[in-house]
C-alpha cells in the first residue's frame, strides 16, 4: 500500500511539474515575442496613404522588434477581404493588418465586421481631406459644383474608395448639407479612385489631401476645397468647404490591429514599437512630405476612438442607404 501511495505521489508531482512547464511555456512565448517574422496586411490597393504607411513603418517596426515585417496587399470589398482574413488568424501577434475607419463602419452595412473582432495596436497618421477635380474641369469653386449638381440631380459623379468608406461617407454629408444628389463610382481603395478622377472618368475626388497630391503635382488634378477647419498651410490659396458655404470637415486615419484575443503583453509590445516608429524622424519625413500628419494613439486610446468613429459615420452611412 505504501508503495502504491508513493507511486501516486510521484506521478502527481510529475503531472504538476509538466503542467507548470506548459503554463510557463505559454507565458514564456509571450515574453519572448516576437520570435518569428510578422505579416502586415494592407486592406487597400498599392499607392494610397494606407499602403504608404505600411511600407514606411514596416522597416521601423523591424528595427524595434528585431524581426522582419512582411507587407502584403489584400484589397477588395471596402477592406473587408483583409479584415475577414485577419479575424480568422491565430491571435498571437504574427498576423496584423492596417486598418481604417471601415473597421468601425462596416457594421452598418452587410459585412460581418465589428470592432470587437480585433485588438487595436495603434494609429499611425491622420489625413485631412479635400475635394479635387480634373485640371480641365469647368468647376472653378465648390459653389460651381453644387450649382451644377442642383441643376442636374444624379449627373455629377465622384470616385469613392468604397461605399461607407472614410471618403464615401463625407460625400453623403455633402449631399445632405448642400441639398444635392450625387452618384458614387466605387473603387478598391483610394489610389485607383483618385486616379480615376485624374483621368477625367468622374467629376471629382473626395479623399485625403496627401493621396491626391501626386496627381495635383502632375497637373492632372486641382484642389477645389479643403475639408479642414482652416486653410491648409501648404495650399493657402485653396478655400475650405466652410468658406464656400458647406461646413464639412473630414480626415482619414490609418492604424494597425491584430485579431481579438491577442495577449495583452503582445499588444503592448507591438503598440510600444509602433509609437516609437511614428516618432522616428524618417517616418515623419515621409508622412509629412505626403501632406499627411504623423499621429499616434495607443491601443487603449484606439478602442475608444473606434466607438467615436462609429457614432460619427453611422448617420452618413444610413443616409447613403436611404434610412
DSSP string, 170-189: HHHHHHHHHT---EEEE-SS
Q: Residue 282's domain is classified under what CATH number?
A: 3.40.190.150
Asked if 46 and 99 sit in the same domain, the reply is yes
- Secondary structure class of 91 (helix, strand, coil): coil
Asked if 72 and 88 sit in the same domain, the reply is yes
Asked if 223 and 140 sit in the same domain, the reply is yes
Q: Is residue 192 part of a domain?
A: yes
Give the domain range for residue 56: 35-127+253-320
Asked if 221 and 137 sit in the same domain, the reply is yes
- Predicted confidence band at 62 (pLDDT cuts at 50, 70, 90)? very high
Among 193, 227, 261, the domain-final residue is 227
pLDDT higher than threshold 50 for residue 25: no
Strand boundaries in 88-148, DSSP class E: 95-99, 118-134
23's CB contacts (< 8 A; 6+ apart) are none
Residue 271 CA to chain centroid, in angstroms?
16
Q: Residue 154's domain is classified under what CATH number?
A: 3.40.190.10
pLDDT higher than threshold 50 for residue 1: no
Q: Distance between CA 76 and CA 153 in Å, rounded? A: 29
CA atoms within 13 A on the CB side of 110: 2
Asked if 219 and 135 sit in the same domain, the reply is yes
Asked if 43 and 95 sit in the same domain, the reply is yes
Q: What is the pLDDT of residues 68-115, one digit of tens each?
A: 999 999 998 888 999 999 999 999 999 999 999 989 989 988 888 999
Count how many domains the chain has. 2
Contact (Cβ atoms closer than 8 angstroms) between residue 256 and residue 121 = yes
Asked if 121 and 133 sit in the same domain, the reply is no
Q: Which of 57, 28, 27 is nearest to 42 (CA)?
A: 57
Average pLDDT, the chain: 89
Asked if 119 and 145 sit in the same domain, the reply is no
Amino acid at each position: 500500500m505504501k508503495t502504491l501511495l508513493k507511486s501516486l505521489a510521484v506521478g502527481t508531482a510529475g503531472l504538476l511539474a509538466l503542467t507548470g512547464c506548459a503554463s510557463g511555456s505559454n507565458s514564456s512565448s509571450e515574453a519572448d515575442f516576437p520570435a518569428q517574422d510578422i505579416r502586415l496586411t494592407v486592406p487597400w490597393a498599392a499607392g494610397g496613404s494606407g499602403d504608404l504607411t505600411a511600407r514606411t513603418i514596416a522597416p521601423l517596426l523591424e528595427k524595434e522588434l528585431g524581426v522582419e515585417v512582411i507587407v502584403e496587399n489584400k484589397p477588395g470589398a471596402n477592406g473587408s477581404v483583409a479584415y475577414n482574413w485577419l479575424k480568422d488568424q491565430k491571435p498571437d501577434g504574427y498576423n496584423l493588418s492596417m486598418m481604417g475607419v471601415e473597421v468601425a463602419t462596416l457594421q452598418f452595412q452587410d459585412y460581418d465586421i465589428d470592432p470587437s473582432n480585433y485588438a487595436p495596436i495603434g494609429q499611425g497618421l491622420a489625413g485631412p481631406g479635400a475635394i479635387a477635380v480634373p485640371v480641365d474641369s469647368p468647376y472653378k469653386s465648390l459653389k460651381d459644383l453644387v450649382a451644377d449638381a442642383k441643376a442636374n440631380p444624379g449627373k455629377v459623379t465622384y470616385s469613392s474608395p468604397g461605399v461607407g468608406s472614410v471618403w464615401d461617407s463625407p460625400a453623403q454629408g455633402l449631399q445632405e448639407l448642400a441639398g444635392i444628389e450625387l452618384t458614387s463610382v466605387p473603387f478598391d481603395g483610394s489610389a485607383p479612385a483618385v486616379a480615376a478622377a485624374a483621368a477625367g472618368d468622374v467629376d471629382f475626388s473626395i479623399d485625403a489631401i496627401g493621396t491626391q497630391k501626386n496627381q495635383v503635382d502632375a497637373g492632372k488634378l486641382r484642389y477645389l476645397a479643403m475639408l479642414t477647419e482652416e486653410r491648409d498651410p501648404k495650399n493657402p490659396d485653396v478655400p475650405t468647404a466652410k468658406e464656400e458655404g458647406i461646413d464639412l470637415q473630414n480626415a482619414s486615419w490609418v492604424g494597425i490591429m491584430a485579431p481579438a484575443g491577442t495577449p495583452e503583453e503582445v499588444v503592448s509590445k507591438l503598440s510600444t514599437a509602433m509609437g516609437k516608429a511614428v516618432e522616428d524622424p524618417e517616418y515623419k519625413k515621409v508622412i509629412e512630405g505626403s501632406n499627411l500628419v504623423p499621429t499616434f494613439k495607443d491601443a487603449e486610446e484606439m478602442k475608444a476612438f473606434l466607438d467615436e468613429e462609429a457614432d460619427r459615420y453611422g448617420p452618413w452611412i444610413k443616409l447613403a442607404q436611404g434610412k
